[in-house]
């Protein structure tokens, strides 16, 4: 068993973690929306006017800050007026990218209602690839305007007299690829046009530009340069990165596991490049922030033919926790991240099978990390050995992050043991403050490939962590491939 000793510097505050780092994303893809969210009012699955209740109850407990919709690639072939009005008269459309019909039963009103049911803010991605400026602008008016116009009357006729007040608006998705195979300069000119009219319609909205992917790293710089003197129209740039491509969701080797953990460093390189550009093009009057609104594991089992469905094991949990620790280091520029996707698709939080459902290990990491939202990152030091990945990268055996919540007078610590076979004892000391009480939970399993299914939902779930404390220190043991969260309540 290894021993890790560390110190939390309670007055060395590095900045605030945006709560939006713990946001999410759902798309009209596979079984994410249908029947992951929408089962219809006549379904035998318990629902509230068509929205399934087991999913809403589980997501409400996570307190997700924002939810991105309707895509993804789907967004740039989605026409929002298809999804309003009586559902019986909504047109049935061809889902261009995911090879399935789109009934449009779940549209703007249903999405807003779902967001309110789970207590999250809506983030809408507008169609640039096959849409028009007026289509995007009118969607903003329909959602946000309180004036007496034809569109707001239509919204009222459809059951919502009050504005939805949607704050976050994306202008296109992956426009270098499925969003239109555009060049960055061309997209930059389009963006200026869309952003001008959308912001004039609702001045307080936050506008999010399509950003880069590791395969197109030059995109951000050319886009920002093309904007010339219109950088005030960009509030955030949204980059994408997926990990684990080519690996299996269940039948992975130990080398695959360590290689995936090493891919967090590739994510860091992507973040470093993008944040440097955000800094370079920001001014005192207007800061451009960064969003990573698609990320997570994408295993070889997740294909279009399977609706991008994959299983989730403790490997996904460890990868997610390690990624969140990385995100804490990129404040204040990293404002939001949205893992893909919420239900039944890629690295989902929930899997469903008919009326049954289960929470994935990734869901439980979101639950364990809730205390970090809007917390102040504290500096800390600790010793840890490193592991070498098959690709030659060095990764830590143990990763720790700590934030302070002033309102609760509590320090939230999360710790990850990456090692597949060795347990670790952690001894953490506070440099100045004293401890009143501690509470800990841990997520682990006997075998890293263990996973939950709708028919067997309780293989992996958090349990109480035994934490020993004194006035200014605490200690606990972490089993292999585990994630822990400890709340340290401080004395006055």
Q: Which two tokens stand for residue 64?
A: 């997700």
Above 90 in pLDDT, residue 12?
Answer: no
pLDDT digits 0-9 by tens, 119-140? 999 999 999 999 999 999 999 9
Above 90 in pLDDT, residue 1?
Answer: no
Mean predicted confidence (pLDDT) in 176-193: 98
Q: Are 243 and 261 in contact (CB under 8 A)?
A: no
Mean predicted confidence (pLDDT) in 249-265: 97
Of the residues 174, 183, 218, 305, only one is catalytic, namely 174
> Which pLDDT score, from 0 to 100, does residue 492 have?
82
β-bridge mates for residue 124, sequence order? 69, 169
Residue 13 — very low, low, confident or very high, per pLDDT cuts 50/70/90? confident
Mean predicted confidence (pLDDT) in 140-169: 98
**Burial class of residue 208 in the structure, from the number of CB atoms within 10 Å of its CB (0-12 exposed, 13-18 middle, 19+ buried):** buried
Return phi, psi of residue 475, to 5°. Answer: -145, 150
All domains in the chain, ordered by first residue: 2-12+376-490 (2.60.40.1180), 18-372 (3.20.20.80)
d(CA 361, CA 450) in angstroms, rounded, equals 9
Mean predicted confidence (pLDDT) in 163-186: 98
d(CA 123, CA 64) in angstroms, rounded, equals 12
Q: Which two tokens stand for residue 173?
A: 């998705």
d(CA 119, CA 113) in angstroms, rounded, equals 10
Mean predicted confidence (pLDDT) in 152-160: 98
Mean predicted confidence (pLDDT) in 169-186: 98
d(CA 365, CA 315) in angstroms, rounded, equals 12
Mean predicted confidence (pLDDT) in 1-10: 93
pLDDT digits 0-9 by tens, 293-337? 999 999 999 999 999 999 999 999 999 999 999 999 999 999 999
pLDDT digits 0-9 by tens, 368-423? 999 999 999 999 999 999 999 999 999 999 999 999 999 999 999 999 999 999 99
> Which pLDDT score, from 0 to 100, does residue 356 have?
98
Q: How far, in Å, are 8, 242, 257 from residue 297 at the CA level? A: 31, 6, 12
Mean predicted confidence (pLDDT) in 31-48: 98
Helix axes 184-201, 219-227, angle to 10 degrees: 50
Q: Are 472 and 462 in contact (CB under 8 A)?
A: no
**Among 269, 332, 271, 374, CA closest to 14:** 332
pLDDT digits 0-9 by tens, 56-79? 999 999 999 999 999 999 999 999
Mean predicted confidence (pLDDT) in 334-341: 98
Of the residues 294, 407, 408, 447, only one is catalytic, namely 294
> Which pLDDT score, from 0 to 100, does residue 439 have?
97
174 in catalytic set = yes
294 in catalytic set = yes
> Which pLDDT score, from 0 to 100, does residue 320 have?
98
Answering whether pTM is above 0.95, one says yes
């Amino acid at each position: 068993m290894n021993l890790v000793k560390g110190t939390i510097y309670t007055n060395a505050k590095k900045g605030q973690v945006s709560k939006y780092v713990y946001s999410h994303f759902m798309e009209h893809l596979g079984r994410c929306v249908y029947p992951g969210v929408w089962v219809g009012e006549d379904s035998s699955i318990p629902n509230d006017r068509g929205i399934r209740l087991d999913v809403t109850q589980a997501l409400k407990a996570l307190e997700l800050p924002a939810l991105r919709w309707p895509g993804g690639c789907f967004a740039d072939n989605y026409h929002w007026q298809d999804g309003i009005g009586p559902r019986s008269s909504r047109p049935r459309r061809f889902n261009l990218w995911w090879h399935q019909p789109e009934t449009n039963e779940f549209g703007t009103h249903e999405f807003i209602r779902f967001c309110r049911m789970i207590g999250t803010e809506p983030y809408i991605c507008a169609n640039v690839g096959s849409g028009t400026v007026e289509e995007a602008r009118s969607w903003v008016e329909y959602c946000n305007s309180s004036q007496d116009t034809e569109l707001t009357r239509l919204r009222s006729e459809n059951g919502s007299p009050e504005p939805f007040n949607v704050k976050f608006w994306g202008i296109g998705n992956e426009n270098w690829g499925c969003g239109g195979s555009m060049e960055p300069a061309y997209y930059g000119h389009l963006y200026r046009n869309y952003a001008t009219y959308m912001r004039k319609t609702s001045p307080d909205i936050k506008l999010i530009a399509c950003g880069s992917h590791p395969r197109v790293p030059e995109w951000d710089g050319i886009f920002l340069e093309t904007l010339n003197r219109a950088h005030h129209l960009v509030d955030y740039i949204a980059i994408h990165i997926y990990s684990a491509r080519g690996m299996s969701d269940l039948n992975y080797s130990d080398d695959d596991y360590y290689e995936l953990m090493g891919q967090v460093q590739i994510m860091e390189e992507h973040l470093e490049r993008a944040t440097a550009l955000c800094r370079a093009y920001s001014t005192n009057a207007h800061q451009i922030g960064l969003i990573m609104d698609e990320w997570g594991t994408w295993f070889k089992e997740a294909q279009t033919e399977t609706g991008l469905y994959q299983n989730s094991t403790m490997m996904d949990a460890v990868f997610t926790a390690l990624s969140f620790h990385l995100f804490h280091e990129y404040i204040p520029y990293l404002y939001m991240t949205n893992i893909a996707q919420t239900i039944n698709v890629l690295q989902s939080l929930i899997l469903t099978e008919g009326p049954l459902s289960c929470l994935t290990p990734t869901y439980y990491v979101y639950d364990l990390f809730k205390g970090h939202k809007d917390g102040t990152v504290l500096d800390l030091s600790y010793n840890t050995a490193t592991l070498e990945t098959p690709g030659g990268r060095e990764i830590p055996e143990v990763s720790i992050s700590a934030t302070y919540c002033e309102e609760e007078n509590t320090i939230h610590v999360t710790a990850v043991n990456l090692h597949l076979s060795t347990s670790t004892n952690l001894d953490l000391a506070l440099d100045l403050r004293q401890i009143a009480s501690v509470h800990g939970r841990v997520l682990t399993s006997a075998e890293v490939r263990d996973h939950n299914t709708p028919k067997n939902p309780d293989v992996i779930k958090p349990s109480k962590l035994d934490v020993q404390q004194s006035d200014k220190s605490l200690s606990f043991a972490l089993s292999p491939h585990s994630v822990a969260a400890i709340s340290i309540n401080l004395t006055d």
